[in-house]
Amino acid sequence: MVRFNARLAMRPNGRLSFDYRVSGHLTDNIDALQQVGWKLAQFAKNLHVEFEYRGFVCNSLADLDASILDLRPGETIVVNSMFELHQLLAQPNAIDNVLGTIKEMKPKIVTIVEEEANHNGPI
């Protein structure tokens, strides 16, 4: 994502602004979430890019609700999910609900990274 942002910032047709909303789990260190914001702010400053960061914490991706993101009209949404969906397999309809919430946000780009595994098979 950092390289992508750097490329966008170097475009000849003008300045960009980025608004990042990053989630973390309650089991994670909230200080780490703040550290991410600080590092992204420094990166944006070096590229002379306008930047807004708001981190939020949720118990699980299943708790994601578009209303907590304060989405704004005309905003471009990008969703990046890394190694999160497999944790929802034990909850009925959780993956469908999360994907429905993501679809509701109308993102321009969605990336999902999961390790290939048979979580539902015999041990």
So what's the pLDDT on residue 123? 54
Residue 27 has pLDDT above 50, yes or no: no
Helix segments in 1-123, DSSP class H:
2-9, 30-46, 94-105
CA–CA gap between residue 102 and residue 108 (Å, rounded): 11
Residue 64 has pLDDT above 70, yes or no: yes
Q: Which residues contact 74 (CB under 8 A, 6 or more apart)?
A: none
So what's the pLDDT on residue 91? 81
So what's the pLDDT on residue 26? 44
Predicted confidence band at 76 (pLDDT cuts at 50, 70, 90)? Answer: confident
Cα atoms found within 13 Å of the Cα of residue 17, Cβ hemisphere only: 7
Max avg pLDDT among 3-12, 69-78, 91-100:
91-100
Over residues 82-121, the pLDDT tens digits come to 777 877 888 888 888 888 888 988 888 888 888 876 666 6
CA–CA gap between residue 10 and residue 74 (Å, rounded): 22
- Alpha-carbon dihedral sign for residues 76, 66, 70, 42: negative
